[in-house]
Amino acid sequence: MYKNEQIFDLTIVGGGPTGLFTAFYGGMRQCKVKIIESLPQLGGQLAALYPEKFIYDIAGYPKVRAKEMISALKEQAFQFNPTVCLEERVQHIKKLDDHFEMITDKGIHFSKAIILTAGVGAFEATRLEHPKAATFEGKNLHYFVDDMNKFANQKVVVIGGGDSAVDWALMLESIAEEVHIIHRRDKFRAHEHSVENLRNSNVNMLTPYEVKDLIGSERIEKLVISNSKTQEEKIIDVDAVIVNFGFKSSLGPIKEWGLEIQKGSIVVNSKMETTIPGIYAAGDITTYPGKVKLIAVGFGEAPTAVNNAKAYIDPEAKLQPGHSSSMNLETANLTTTS
Question: CB under 8 A: which stretch of 6-14, 99-107, 157-165, 166-174 binds another protein?
Answer: 157-165
For β-strands 265-267 and 247-250, DSSP reports them as unpaired
The residue among 273 and 301 lying less far from another protein, judged by its C-beta, is: 301
Binding mask 50-79 for another protein (x = CB under 8 A): x--x--------------------------
Contact 244, 281 (CB under 8 A): no
Shortest separation between residue 89's beta carbon and another protein, angstroms: 16
DSSP label of 283: G
CA 88/CA 92 separation, integer angstroms: 12
Q: Which of 110, 144, 247, 288: binder of another protein (CB under 8 A)? A: 247
Is residue 193 at the binding interface for another protein, with CB under 8 A as the rule?
Answer: no
Is residue 246 at the binding interface for another protein, with CB under 8 A as the rule?
Answer: yes
Is residue 123 at the binding interface for another protein, with CB under 8 A as the rule?
Answer: yes
46 residue type, one letter: L
Of 245, 277, 241, 272, give the one whose Cα is nearest residue 258. 277
Is residue 263 at the binding interface for another protein, with CB under 8 A as the rule?
Answer: yes
Contact 281, 116 (CB under 8 A): yes
Shortest separation between residue 184's beta carbon and another protein, angstroms: 9
SS3 for 264? Answer: coil
Q: Could you count the other beta carbons within 10 Å of the beta carbon of residue 24?
A: 24
DSSP label of 176: S
Question: CB under 8 A: which stretch of 43-51, 143-151, 253-261, 300-308 binds another protein?
Answer: 43-51
Contact 221, 237 (CB under 8 A): yes
**Contact residues: another protein, CB under 8 A:** 45, 49-50, 53, 120, 123, 126, 161-163, 185, 189, 245-249, 263-264, 284
Which residues are annotated as part of the binding site for FAD? 18, 37, 45, 50, 90, 123, 284, 325
